[in-house]
Amino acid sequence: MDNLKVVFMGTPDFAVPSLKALKEAGYEVPLVVTQPDKPAGRGKKLKPPPVKVEAEKLGLKVYQPEKIKDNRELMELLKEISPDLIVVAAYGKILPKWLLEVPKYGVINVHASLLPKYRGASPIQAALLNGEKETGVTIMKVIPELDAGDVISQRKVEITEEDNAQTLHDKLSRLGAELLVETIPKFISGEVKPVPQDNSKATYCPKITKEMGKIDWGKPAEEIFNMVRAFTPWPGAFSHYKGKMVKLSKVLPVEGEGRPGEVIEAKRRLVVATGKGALEILRIKPEGRKEISGEEFIRGYRVKSGDIFQ
């Protein structure tokens, strides 16, 4: 296995542990394919993707194509390398059929859900939004259809009430890397046989947009609690108080009733009524300010019972 040539394709933080794990396991990684640098921040300076940063630290060759569908340069690069395997982890684009046919053992992917559940762009957020008690990672064969390839291996992880999208992302990225390097030798040797997914049980999750973070106080407290966890840190679960936007990063379902969005307690605790039950706001970020506790928000913004979050 030490001589196995593995081309890696990935872009965000989620993919970094998988790339590191491949190198630490002794695989030859002749090429890392990642998305182009993107403008970021107020100055719109070009920022390299996390996988590029890590690949350069490891001394690996990096290629950043704008497109891969009919990319002659990439075709020639891969032909020259003649990889045994291509590993994908959150690359960010659908792979063309020609690329899937290049490596001897095909293309495998690290996906952050227990497929066939939560195919698509936001499996981590979807698991939290739906109040799942567990999720996991899947190593799967890549086919032209989205996340529909045969499952090679899976591993579960518990979702706790303290988890948000960031903490669950970190758990799953580490777990995916561990499972990847455990799976490759078993897959190559034929010890593990890929199993087709049950397409009748497939669910899909869309790309997350900023607008999805708007809180509807008419929903039950439990749903809003899950939403806050799913959208922290990005795009943030937001509402408005006295005309200014606020982002909620930590809340807790509690007993209480009132009009949806109404502050029903504003002494030591900041409690807001929902469509069913209430939420204690533990951490809140006022527009243009740093994040503070609910108690600090009460004092700083003179919050009183009867005020409304919209």
Q: Torsions phi, psi of 181, nearest 5? A: -70, -25
Task: Quote the pLDDT of residue 2.
Answer: 59
The alpha-helical segments, DSSP class H, found in 25-60 are: 50-57
Q: Which of 41-45, 56-60, 304-308 comes out lowest in average pLDDT? A: 41-45
Closest among 56, 66, 65, 53 to 29, alpha carbons compared: 56
The pLDDT tens digits of the residues spanning 108-130 come to 999 999 999 999 999 999 999 99
Q: What was the pLDDT predicted at 40? A: 85
β 6-10/85-89 pair status: parallel
Q: Which residues are annotated as a binding site?
A: 113-116
| pLDDT score recorded for residue 43 | 82
Tell me the binding residues for (6S)-5,6,7,8-tetrahydrofolate.
113-116
Give the tens place of pLDDT for each residue, 165-223. Answer: 999 999 999 999 999 999 999 999 999 999 999 999 999 999 999 999 999 999 999 99
| Digit-coded pLDDT (tens) for 133-147 | 999 999 999 999 999
Distance of CA 88 to CAs 18, 91, 199, Å? Answer: 9, 6, 22
pLDDT at position 287 over 90:
yes
Residue 49 predicted with pLDDT over 90: yes
Average pLDDT for the chain: 96
Please tell me the predicted confidence (pLDDT) of residue 77. Answer: 96
Please state, in angstroms and rounded to a whole number, the distance separating the CA atoms of residues 241 and 286. Answer: 9
Domains of the chain, with CATH numbers?
Answer: 6-205 (3.40.50.170), 210-301 (3.10.25.10)
| Res 241 pLDDT > 80 | yes
